[in-house]
Structure 1
Amino acid sequence: MSILETETQTRNGTPPTGPAYGTRTATHPLRSELRRGFAPWAGLAVAATLAITMAGKAPQWQGSWGDTQGMLHVTSSLLGGPLAAAAGCWHGGRERRRRTDELRATAARGPLAQFLTASLPVAAWIAAAYAVVAVGASAATWAYASASRPLLSPALADAAFLVAMTLLGHVVGRLVAWRPAAPTLAVGGYLALGVPTYATGGLSHLSPASAPTMGDVVPVWWQPLAESVWVGGLAAAAVLAYAASRKYTALVPLTAAAVAAVLITQTGDRMWRDHPLAQQQVCDTSVRPQICVNALYPAMLPEVKTALSGLTDRLEGVENLPVRFEDRAGEPKQDEAQLPMLTPMGQSMVRGGLTDPEQFASEAADSLAGKDPCDARVEDERASRVDSTVTEWLSPSRARAEIERHNLRSAQGNGDDKMQAGIRADQAARARLAAMDTDERRAWLSRYFATADSCDPKQVPAL
């Protein structure tokens, strides 16, 4: 039995009947809407959209609570929000399409109660769909995330946003008698949410999709609340202005939304702060240089140490080395070298493992050899050759070797004698370093690393 039939029978004093049970107590319309009809399908569509998108980008978030919640937030904002608005819009025009809007107007319940009875089941199913995807994403991250924890408040704000977009869409569906209104609203909502992400300034933060990824930052305690009040206030004002008997009550949520909007635009990027672990490190002091990884990813330390084991073995006994490889924001200190970037996820690091340990070790060797190069050192052929020789000896790279072979074949084919001579000189320099006995090489490398920060190419020891 439809809502309108139930409402009409109740108003006429006739108890609702069912074919299986005869006369029985009327089922509340809200329960009927929740159990069948459009609402479950809307929830399924949102769940499928979010789940497929999250699964397709799993390498970029699986392994970090912050990145997981950040990706879920952006996905639910940019895709879930427009889809929820479209679902609400389509459902809002149901009576018009069925030509029962005049019958609805004669029902016993007031306009606001009728509106909420029709719209809240769709919003509830969409919020439940988000919750299912959020739980699934958290379960997928659990096995790989080694630090921090998921935050509840951003997830609640995302769910509130989807509910608000559903209600706004329902109002549009009631007001706009146009069948393409739902897809048009979805496209318009996507643009309205997505375009501000490319802007700068406080106004850009009014779009929930403009929030930064939460890998190394977390929102201040009131940020999710302000976001919910901003979007939820607009939705509540639209609902009350459309369906409430006292239209002026819409001013209350509208005022709250305006206050939240001012707070968001005035605060801007200060709504997020550095993660407490982002400036901390976990170190292995058994090797030299010591190896440190960011405290957000402590489980990566054994993986990184294994990748750099060949490099640290070759540096055993060498003096004038940096104290450690460091892994935190900002430039390394004078006695430190920069560990190759582990983030953003999906590049060097995927699901708690290095994607290319050889390339990672090669980049680490680069950060040691001539670790603060300047133009004079880079432009000096001899000093530059020494730097590249040390890098290649510390961490031989198949990719660099293949590039060198390709360049040599190309130079031979083109008759480029200068390039051939340069490549032969590079090979000879590597051969001389490899031919040294252990003590001689340690002494030479100690002299070399004493000049690693120097911009004077004349100080670089000859090879």
Structure 2
Amino acid sequence: MSAVTIPKTPVRVSHPLRAEAVRGFAPIAGAAVVLTLGVLLVGSSAHWQGGWAETAAQLHNSVLVSVPLAAAAGCWQGGRERRRRTEELWGTVVRTPLVRFLASALPVAFWTAAGHLVAAALAMLATWPYAQGDRPRFGTVPGDAVAVAAAALLGHVVGRAVPTRLAAPLLAIAGYVGLGVLASADPGLAGPLDPAFPIMDTDVPVWWQPLAMAGWTAGLALAAALGSAARRRATALLPLAAAVAAATVLVQAGDGLWHEDPAAHRQVCDTSTTPAICVEARYAGMLPQIGEALSGITGRLKGVRNLPARWEDVNHEPRDPEAQLPMLTPLGWSVVRGRLTDPRQYAWEAAAALERRPECLHPTRRMLVADDAVESYLAPSPLQDDTDAWDAKGSAEQRAQARSRKAARARLRTMDDQDRREWLSAYFATAGTCDVKGVPAL
């Protein structure tokens, strides 16, 4: 009887790096980063959703949380073999210590960095429907992701070296506190090297800052990994030299790493009204609804002379012939997700800004009555009725003042259109002073 040869089917053995990346702790670590950042971003969404610059700043500042979290995840993974008591067994395998280190550490670094990128992508998508101008900003995202991955590698080194289960939570706390202290301290030398250094929405990095920051954080992490697991530890000198070179560039640049966004100082105007309405170029899409909110004021001011040429959304004292438009920023107050939160309050503040009066130490009753009548005619304060009701229950002097204000408001409203335009023209001629003697009495 002849023997039958059965062909052997080759058994495909998955690469250990793939097994670690697909199963186990690494995907959980990435999901933890996404979930944690998601909760933080949702909780503060009113302050960034709707502005590309605010979203970019919020994502960069969230590194203060994602870096310690990634370091803790790497530390926990680094102590896995000790917890399983398989260190001696791993010592008998053919693979070198560095290969074993990378097979365990790289998946956590990849997944935590991917978690940060996913959170950033979701935040960008959440901003897109409400953005009112400008453009998406991705400048800091790559450098931040590399910093998160580097933190995971450094945490892995700590987890292998420190024989305690408390190493991971303690490292997370220490990282958060340390980065927080660096962020709140005088920038000095540490500021340019701090991957979680806080920025404002008007800050834009120079094009090479993310590359230099990535070289600093990645070089430091690779140097620690090679020094911990490589057979020839001298190879750690190469990434260490790269980290030192990147750090030198960052420190020497200092404040030059960031510059102000030019769009924050550029105004876009709607000149179809008098005064014209101007906002920052980053929020040009807000002009139609601001124009609608102020339409009652601009409609009542047709034909009136001596008005400011425009309202401007500026962060400084307006200059003639400008008036201060109520500020749109910071988001979360007068603007949330691309919409005015209280158009009536916004209109009243814009009407009050037309007076452009300095702080008068001793305002006269005539001045107060005239200002109140103009504000009430153009855009009444949302609290006007409450104030009148309160004064009506007050002292005799308060009741008399309330009667004077109401009478002046009524006279201004019932004037002939031409007479009212002349009176308002005389009134606005005194704007910027503490004297209304040239204004006819009401």
SS at match of 2:221: helix
Contact 2:97 2:230 in 1 (8 A): yes
Separation in 1 of the partners of 2:228 and 2:294?
65
1:392 to 359, 376, 391: 376
Tell me the TM-score normalised to structure 1 length. 0.88
Look up the match of 1:317: 303
Correspondence list, 1:136-175, <5 A? 136-175=122-161
2:21 to 34, 47, 58: 34
Look up the match of 2:359: 374
User: Residue 401 of structure 1 aligns to which amino acid in structure 2?
Assistant: D
User: Residue 417 of structure 2 aligns to which amino acid in structure 1?
Assistant: T
SS at match of 1:292: strand
User: Residue 429 of structure 2 aligns to which amino acid in structure 1?
Assistant: A
- Superposed CA RMSD in Å reads 2.1
Separation in 1 of the partners of 2:179 and 2:387?
45
1:449 to 428, 435, 438: 428
Structure 1 segments of 4 or more deviating over 6 A? none
Deviations 1:102-149 (A, max 9, x none): 222222222221111101011111122222222222222111223232
Separation in 2 of the partners of 1:374 and 1:257?
55
Residue ranges of structure 1 left out of the alignment (5+ in a row): 1-20
Separation in 2 of the partners of 1:118 and 1:260?
27
User: Residue 374 of structure 1 aligns to which amino acid in structure 2?
Assistant: E
What's the offset of the Cα at 1:299? 1.1
Correspondence list, 1:276-315, <5 A? 276-315=262-301
**Amino-acid identity (%):** 51
Look up the match of 2:367: 383
Correspondence list, 1:308-347, <5 A? 308-347=294-333
Correspondence list, 1:199-214, <5 A? 199-202=185-188, 203-214=190-201
Separation in 2 of the partners of 1:320 and 1:239?
71
Deviations 1:272-312 (A, max 9, x none): 22223222222211110011121111111101000000111
SS at match of 1:27: coil
Look up the match of 2:3: none
Contact 1:293 1:327 in 2 (8 A): yes
Look up the match of 1:13: none
What's the offset of the Cα at 1:241? 1.8
The reply to whether residue 440 of structure 1 matches residue 425 of structure 2 is: no
Contact 1:404 1:423 in 2 (8 A): yes
Separation in 2 of the partners of 1:44 and 1:353?
32
Look up the match of 1:227: 213
Separation in 1 of the partners of 2:247 and 2:314?
33
Contact 2:223 2:236 in 1 (8 A): yes
Look up the match of 2:180: 194
The reply to whether residue 421 of structure 1 matches residue 403 of structure 2 is: no
What's the offset of the Cα at 1:88? 0.5
Residue-pair matches, total: 434
Deviations 1:214-239 (A, max 9, x none): 3x331111221222222222212221
User: Residue 377 of structure 2 aligns to which amino acid in structure 1?
Assistant: W
The reply to whether residue 62 of structure 1 matches residue 41 of structure 2 is: no
Kindly tell me: are residues 228 and 388 of structure 1, through their superposed partners in 2, closer, same or farther at Cα, counting changes over 3 Å? Answer: farther
Deviations 1:401-426 (A, max 9, x none): 223323433x2xxxx33333333332
Separation in 2 of the partners of 1:374 and 1:459?
19
The reply to whether residue 406 of structure 1 matches residue 418 of structure 2 is: no
Deviations 1:232-259 (A, max 9, x none): 2221222122112232333333343334
Correspondence list, 1:124-139, <5 A? 124-139=110-125
Contact 1:147 1:298 in 2 (8 A): yes
What's the offset of the Cα at 1:262? 4.1
Deviates more, 1:114-123 or 1:98-107: 98-107
1:74 to 41, 61, 65: 61
Separation in 1 of the partners of 2:305 and 2:374?
15
Separation in 2 of the partners of 1:452 and 1:78?
48
SS at match of 2:262: coil
Residue ranges of structure 2 left out of the alignment (5+ in a row): 1-7
Contact 1:46 1:126 in 2 (8 A): yes
Separation in 1 of the partners of 2:392 and 2:240?
70
Kindly tell me: are residues 429 and 112 of structure 1, through their superposed partners in 2, closer, same or farther at Cα, counting changes over 3 Å? Answer: same
